[in-house]
A and B are shown apart, each in its own frame.
Chain A
């Protein structure tokens, strides 16, 4: 029954997504495809971080009546770790900014050479 723990499942899926994303970043030749793989990688890492903060059988860190029911009037026994969640919140917004920036570069690169293939951009290759 160990496999049926939610934290471990989240961790596993996160790792799988990270590997798939890495594969895409390394193997693809199209710039847009690379950026898509990058967003998948991003999602996987966020999943790993949230899964690390999950505690079995507990509820979201928002204190109201149901928290007191679950934890016997003790908040410490009722909620999951709020710190990774706050971290991931920041990470997602910054990931959006990074994606937007990458896409702006991609647009400029396409305008310069009319191609999206990464092998065509070899000006700095020696």
Chain B
């Protein structure tokens, strides 16, 4: 288990090194491999954060789907914000609602919370066990089940495929 953690962290860090240096010069690549390996061994022995994703082709396919869905939501969020801010009457109806999630993996919960923050009109305010408390700028359903259906499900389905 520990070697798997280290190996996946090493790969992620190596990708980061390539993004930063952007060269295939042999010496630079060798130094990068050495350094990232050292960092992974020193700091990533116990960090499971990088290795929680399932290593199957299906998970990778769902990652792409997730990115597309997320980008669409982001753009929608922005149009929404623009509409709200620029309309003279300021149509807001804010409140804090509670939703439930089934996700257990930490990384998946982080991604879910960030996605909720960046989608139209919602904002993660507090996380407690299974409950996410969400500040919603335009409350449509105050009850838990309905709000969950509205806000969380579309991301949760994909994230469950990715992280299990």
State yes or no: do A and B touch (Cβ within 8 Å): no
Interface residues of A (CB under 8 A from B): none
